[in-house]
Amino acid sequence: MSDNDTIPLHPSSQSDIDEIENLIHASVQSGPATVFPARPPSPPRASIPVSSSPFMPSNIPPHPPSTTQKPQAVPVPPPLPASSGNGRANMAASGFGSPPNTLTEPVLDTVKRDLSRIVSNLKLVVFPNPFREDPGKALRDWDLWGPFFFIVFLGLILSWSASVKKSEVFAVAFALLAAGAVILTLNVLLLGGHIIFFQSLSLLGYCLFPLDVGALICMLKDNVIVKVVVVCVTLAWSSWAAYPFMSSAVNPRRKALALYPVFLMYVSVGFLIIAID
Amino acid sequence: MSPSSSQIQVFRHFLRLEHKGRFLVVPSLLAMLMILLQNLHLGLVLMKPSRVVGFTAFTVAAYKPYFDIDTSDVLERIKDSLFPFRGSFNEKTASNPDLYGPFWICTTLIFVAASIGTFVTYIAHKLNKKEWDYDINLVTWSAGLFYGYVTIVPLVLYIILKYFSAPSGLVQLFCLYGYSLSVFIPALCLSLVPLDIVRWVVAGVSGFMSATFVALNLRAHIKSAGERWFLIVAGIFLLQLALSVILKLYLFTVRV
């Protein structure tokens, strides 16, 4: 399976290709063992193809396989930034035992697979289900697209609802949510808790879903009482969703220290939703 | 064997400004910055006898000792800060100063200040039947104020105390200042009352409590600094009072 490209590759990609080839050989020899224990590749993830297709390294946008498919993806605007990004993200993902052709699959397949992963993660985190008590099992297959969509969506809704300083509102909302998720995760780590950094970011992003719904309702209905009620309900829902993961990550004597900042962040976001009109 | 004694000499020399002072401002500032950074690093690393060597200020593990605290400890320290006349806070936290309290008290204060300031202007505008728009600058402004105050004032105080040879740990100063701001949270909530005189009284009382908390805790520590301790303590006291007044003026001056 060695590379016989006639097109000269980018100098940095050759070492990447060698490394990945070695890993593929090793995994083929040792059987289909997963390489990353925290993320079993349940849907077949893309691997870097080592065939002779013109392979571009991950920091250059993929050209030939996707350009022919791009017009298909255009009429679906929200996943469009995801489609080109999904190709790249999947290229860089794990899964060295899977068939090497997910880069050449239609973009719609990639989009559908990622969307279904977002939906399944959402169901695990935000809605009642039997896995909630065991956080390690629940968000095994975490991803960052879902949180990204939810944060940007919330920022956009707040920005649309605002009558003045729209761009500042979006900036503050986005910064608050993104920096807040990072700071909350660091807080748990510093308190001596055991979580995986990106898994926690993913979880906090998914728990924003109820607040997204609340913000949408508040944008459509302009009554203050309705807003307060809706925000309180969705706030409680968000906090309930985040509670088992955060509380099981730390020492029980420090549980409140880890949970209070989460609550504070959601309350401040809820307050922003009420106040922006 | 303090490496900073010679640096202190250099620093004092620059400060005396015997030469034409103007072109020495930048080098003296640079010297101050160097001393500060070196002492900051030394202070943070030497505070807890740990096995870290080298410049580890960017790892999570370097700051873990400052978050080694339980819920009950944090609550107890907040309760202590509400009684300013005991003056025993510094001794109690000397062995285990934490950064959790200061950071999250500041963050809570930012949120409370922004929300109450917004609410006050909302009520005032609605009472006068005027148009009201949410001012997002309240959030950013109060964030800058509180984070800046709790970061810069202890740093400057640390440098001044080193200069007067009464060194206090930097993290202890952060801890002290962070917990001293906790009294502003109930004060801001009480300032919801729409009477201006009530707001001034609340601002004055809370500023006074917070300032005495910091001053008394520091006084016991720096009495050994020599004849200048009273100036330092008075300066700190006035600074905290000024913070309270600025808060009151910015958040609760309603221009309808």
- C-beta separation of A261 from B107 below 8 A: yes
Longest dimension (CA), chain A: 68
- For residue A72, give Cα distances in angstroms to A109, B35, B49: 11, 61, 62
- C-beta separation of B175 from B102 below 8 A: yes
Looking at beta carbons, which residues of chain A come within 8 Å of B136?
A: 162, 165, 168-169, 172
Q: What is the pLDDT of residue A64?
A: 43
Cβ B69–A190 below 8 Å, yes or no?
no
Tell whether A196 lies on the interface with B, counting CB pairs under 8 A: no
- Interval B34-71: pLDDT, tens: 666 665 555 555 555 445 456 667 777 788 888 888 88
Among all residues of chain B, which has the CA nearest to that of A180?
Answer: B107
- Token look-up 């096995």 returns B51
Q: Distance (Å, rounded) from C-alpha B82 to C-alpha A102? A: 62
Long-range contacts of A127-135 (CB under 8 A, 24+ apart): A132/A244, A133/A244, A135/A244, A135/A245, A135/A248, A135/A249
Side chain identity, residue A138:
A
Exposure string over A211-225, b if 16+ CB within 10 A, otherwise e: bbbbbbbbbeeeeee
- Interval B124-144: pLDDT, tens: 888 888 777 777 788 888 899
Tokens of B176: 């002290």
Q: How far is A90 from chain B (nearest CA, A)?
A: 29
Establish, for the pair of chains A and B, how many residue pairs have beta carbons separated by less than 8 Å.
60
- Interval B157-193: pLDDT, tens: 888 888 877 777 888 889 999 999 999 999 999 888 8
Tokens of A97: 């035992």
> What is the full per-residue pLDDT of chain A (277 aa) written as tens digits?
444 556 666 666 666 777 777 778 776 666 554 444 454 445 544 444 444 444 444 444 444 444 444 444 444 444 444 444 444 444 444 455 555 577 788 889 889 988 998 888 888 888 887 766 666 666 777 888 889 999 999 999 999 988 888 898 899 899 999 999 999 999 998 888 888 889 889 989 999 999 999 999 999 988 889 999 999 999 999 998 888 888 888 888 888 889 999 999 999 999 988 888 7
Tell whether A261 lies on the interface with B, counting CB pairs under 8 A: yes
- C-beta separation of A259 from A247 below 8 A: yes
Q: What is the pLDDT of residue A102?
A: 73
> Which of B176, B179, B182, B110 is CA-nearest to residue B145?
B110
Q: Distance (Å, rounded) from C-alpha B77 to C-alpha B96? A: 11
Task: Kindly indicate the confidence band of residue B194, based on its pLDDT and cuts at 50, 70 and 90.
Answer: confident
- C-beta separation of B117 from B252 below 8 A: yes
**SS3 for B52?**
coil
Tell whether A264 lies on the interface with B, counting CB pairs under 8 A: yes
